[in-house]
Amino acid sequence: QHRSLSGDEDSDSSTLNEDEDLERRATAGNFRRRGAICVPRSSGGISARFDYTDDPALSMEQHRDEERRTNELESQRASRRDLKREAERLRSQVQDLRRELRLAREKTQNLELEMETKLESAASATAQSSQQSDAHAQTAETLRNEVSSLEVEISDLRSALRKGVIAARGDVSQMTGDELREEIRRLRRSASARRSSRETISIHTCANSTRNLSARLAGRNSECAGSLRSSCNNACARRSPATRIITIIIIIS
């Protein structure tokens, strides 16, 4: 009897463990257990203990439910697989988009650096151009002043030419450009010579004066005229000042 009670207790414990295992499997969606169909008791739900049945009608109904649930499970598994594949595809797309975004950021940074460099170069070139423009403006102003001065000088020279200062060379209006420039150079040299040696008498002027004075004195005193001519020639050859010639003329007279 003791053994029988012990065996019953072992049987009840084994049945309880199997029911718990069946309950876990039923919760997970698996209703098969050793080829039999497990159904819940009418007094409980999924979490209640399960009994075994061999009723064919009940077995067929449960079999259909099992197939339906199995199909649903397979459909859910297929859906989960599809969702996983879609998630993988979306994850891959996200990674690609992140990679493209990173490349776009790097390209944007490079473009920003390039634009900053170009802007700095443009600013430097603008500053240099401004400085060159200022220098060119100053040069142009200097040239304009020089041109104005030359125009005034040319106007003065033409006025002098019209008044007959160099009438022997003809009318100014009929002179060519080369002739006018040559006359301007000649007048400049003449003006410079007059400024540098205002008290010097040229050889030609001295010779002409000597010849004129000798001619006037020749009729009265030929010896005096010859002496005057010799003295004046010597004085002109030495480029003597006008005061010496005038003194000689006064003494001889």
Query: 3-class DSSP state for residue 33?
Result: strand
What is the rounded distance in angstroms from the CA atom of residue 131 to the CA atom of residue 197?
46
Contact 207, 233 (CB under 8 A): yes
Domain housing 33: 2-87
- pLDDT tens string 43-84: 444 444 444 455 555 567 777 888 888 888 888 889 899 999
Do 72 and 20 lie in a common domain? yes
- Please give the sequence-ordered ranges of beta strands (E in DSSP) within the chain, or none if there are none: 32-33, 36-40, 50-53
Rounded to 5 degrees, what angle do the CA atoms 159, 162, 165 make?
A: 90
Query: 3-class DSSP state for residue 241?
Result: strand
Do 83 and 37 lie in a common domain? yes
Fill in the amino acid letter for 241: P
Q: Where are the alpha helices (DSSP H) in 163-176?
A: none
Do 10 and 49 lie in a common domain? yes
In the chain, the number of structural domains is: 3
* Per-residue pLDDT band at 213 (split at 50, 70, 90): low
Give pLDDT, residue 244. Answer: 47
Give pLDDT, residue 222. Answer: 52
Do 250 and 215 lie in a common domain? yes
Q: Mean pLDDT, the chain, as a whole number?
A: 66
